[in-house]
Amino acid sequence: MKAVLGCEYSYDVTPLLVGGANCVAPNNPSVLKCASDFADRTSIAGGLHALGIGNNGGVGGFLTNALGGNAVSGLVNLFTGQGSTADVAFGGTRGGLPGAGEGPAGRLSNGIAGVVQDSIAIGANGILNAGGEITTLAGTATTAGLTGAEYATGVGWIKFGYDAASYAAGLAGCAAGLIN
Amino acid sequence: MGRSGALTLWQQIMLDVFAPPIITAIWWLFSAGWSGLLGTSESDVVKSWRRPAMWTVLAVCYILMFGITAYAYFFRHR
């Protein structure tokens, strides 16, 4: 494996492949961390931060990260040990996965981000069910034929799909040396 | 063929083959949790979205990863 995992490589690939730990520069980030960093930079929260939104911490910063952060990178960080104690508190024991269930245990496992997402989802559900249409950047969009919850489900899935795609791009780019 | 990445071409291809299903599985977990949270898991509309959405995510991940690999290994330094 030494010929394959030689010292010339930029990243610690041991999270992905067994062996070669001694031939990796000790201070270089892993491919997974590089991919997570890229995914976070290109997340909705990263874009908002680049625009100066949510940079001052507080409620604004909290909401920006809770709703716009990359869900996939958050989960991967948790399982690869790159997540901090704050990440666990933020994402809960479920790593930010929504749908933890009812009761105190469920709410606790949902983490701070999950509780915020719950509240937003319930709120959006109520608004959409009441009005039947929403105002978007392109104008007013009707949700006829869909319930508010179904519409919100689709929006959430698209967001998670974007998170998955940006993480995949980051993973390939980092492994190929295109992204640092 | 000149490029200096973290992995060899063979390792990169293995990553490109195996990572998208894992990422798609994570997406599946998130989407299932989200629809469960909203109470739409049993909705016929949402059920009809699930498989096409999953295949779309998987396809996009494969296209992105193999596309980036092809660019890095075969086109970048031409």
Render pLDDT for A76-95 as a digit per residue (tens, 0 to 9): 777 776 655 455 455 544 45
CA-based nearest distance B43→chain A, Å? 8
Residue of A nearest to B35 (CA): A153
A30-76 residue pLDDT tens: 888 888 888 888 877 666 666 666 566 665 665 556 566 778 877 77
In sequence order, which residues have a C-beta less than 8 Å from that of residue A141 and are 6 or more positions away? A133, A134, A135
Q: Helix, strand or coil for residue A7?
A: coil
CA A84 – CA A88 distance, rounded (Å): 7
Task: Find out whether A92 and A108 touch, Cβ atoms under 8 Å.
Answer: yes
The CA distances from residue A73 to A19, A87, A119, A130, B78, in Å, are 24, 11, 22, 35, 33
Q: Helix, strand or coil for residue A171?
A: helix
Q: What pLDDT, on the 0 to 100 scale, is given for residue B67?
A: 95
CB contact under 8 A, A13 and B11: yes
CA-based nearest distance B51→chain A, Å? 12
CA B21 – CA B67 distance, rounded (Å): 16
CB contact under 8 A, B4 and A157: no
CA-based nearest distance A161→chain B, Å? 6
Which stretches within A51-147 are classed as H helix?
58-68, 71-79, 85-91, 103-131
**How sure is the predictor about B70, in pLDDT bands with cuts at 50, 70 and 90?**
very high
CA A53 – CA A50 distance, rounded (Å): 7
Residue of A nearest to B31 (CA): A157
Is B1 touching A (CB cutoff 8 A)? no
Of B7, B46, B61, the CB nearest to A13: B7
CA B70 – CA B64 distance, rounded (Å): 10
Q: What pLDDT, on the 0 to 100 scale, is given for residue A2?
A: 36
What ipTM does the predicted assembly reach? 0.90
CA A4 – CA A109 distance, rounded (Å): 41
Angle of helix A58-68 relative to helix A103-131, nearest 10 degrees?
90
Of B5, B65, B66, the CB nearest to A177: B5
Q: Helix, strand or coil for residue A80?
A: coil
Domain boundaries, chain B: 9-75
CA B54 – CA B26 distance, rounded (Å): 11
**pLDDT higher than threshold 90 for residue A14:** no
Of B33, B57, B69, the CB nearest to A172: B69
Residues of B numbered 3-22 whose beta carbons fall under 8 angstroms of chain A's beta carbons: which are they? 3-8, 10-12, 15-16, 19-20
